[in-house]
Amino acid sequence: MIVAQADGDPFVRWDWIWGHLDLVWEKVLEHLVLTGIALGIGLTVALLLSALALRFRKTYAPITWVTGIAYSIPSLALFAFLVPITGFTILTAEIGLVSYTLLILIRNVVAGIDGVDPAIKEAATGMGYTRRRLFFQIELPLALPVIIAGLRIAGVTTIGLVTVTALIGQGGVGFFILRGLNRFFSTEIVLGTMLSVILAVAVDLSLLGLERILTPWSKRTGSAT
């Protein structure tokens, strides 16, 4: 990317960043909210579609096919397509962001649940678990490590994609990148990029921490067989 410099400015003007910390904080929060909503809705929809795919196996191929197509549409094109319908709104942003999480999340939920030891399912069913209880109390908790692994990939992807939504007036820290490009102001471009990377790492590590907390049994294993 070629960055034009305003005359006489250094590459990064730290004084500008210090002077706009309020705006930085606002955009970081916006970024996290956009990501959080996308992951929350994405996971909910993915769980529902996964439950459907697990219950009726024939639906799994069409579900991954449709979400796979959604995943392969360039984000820029998707937002451009949605704007005439839903405008420059958060709804437009979230439709795009959510649809990009689905393929990853559904694949991991289904793989996680399929990966539960059949002996465990047989024992549970043999002791009188209903299908629903088996799913929520046994399969879902045991699939958590794989589901959270999917959530981490989806999280990192979403943090990156949120910056693109700056084009439709959303965008979190993408705001800085877009404005920097428009104003030939490298400080904002660097700021937006760095914040995006930091947020991606932070989200990834938080989800890893969440996994540790939610699956206390897996950390103590391996000491005996």
Partner 1 sequence: MIRLDRVSKTFPGQTTPAVAELSFDIDEGEIVVLVGPSGCGKTTTLKMINRLVEATSGTISVAGTDITSVPAPVLRQGIGYVIQRIGLFPHRTIAENIATVPALLGWEKDRINQRVDELIVLVGLTPEMKTRYPAELSGGQQQRVGVARALAADPPVLLMDEPFGAVDPIVRGRLQEELLDLQRRVHKTIVFVTHDIDEAIKLGDRVAILNVGGILEQYASPAEILRSPANRFVEEFLGEDRSLKRLSLTPISDVDLVAGPIVEPTATRGDVEATMKEHGVDWVGVGTDGRLHGWVWGEDVTGTAGDLEPRPFSVRLSADRSLREALDSVVSSHTGVAIVDDGDRYLGMLSIEEISRHLIE
Contact set with partner 1 (CB under 8 A): 117, 119-130, 133, 138, 141-142, 215, 217-218, 220-225
Q: Which is nearer to partner 1, 72 or 225 (CB)?
A: 225
Least distance CB 109 / partner 1 (angstroms):
17
Measure CA 149 to chain center: 11
Q: Ramachandran region of residue 117, left (φ > 0), alpha (ψ -120 to 50) or beta?
A: beta
User: How many Å apart are CA 67 and CA 99, to the nearest integer?
Assistant: 7
Q: Which is nearer to partner 1, 121 or 179 (CB)?
A: 121
Q: Which is nearer to partner 1, 83 or 134 (CB)?
A: 134
User: How many Å apart are CA 143 and CA 176, to the nearest integer?
Assistant: 39
Least distance CB 215 / partner 1 (angstroms):
7
Least distance CB 127 / partner 1 (angstroms):
5
Distances 86 to 16, 33, 50 between C-alpha atoms, Å: 35, 19, 27
Q: Which is nearer to partner 1, 8 or 118 (CB)?
A: 118
Residues 51, 221 contacting (CB under 8 angstroms): no
- The token duo for 25 is 């904080």
Least distance CB 216 / partner 1 (angstroms):
8
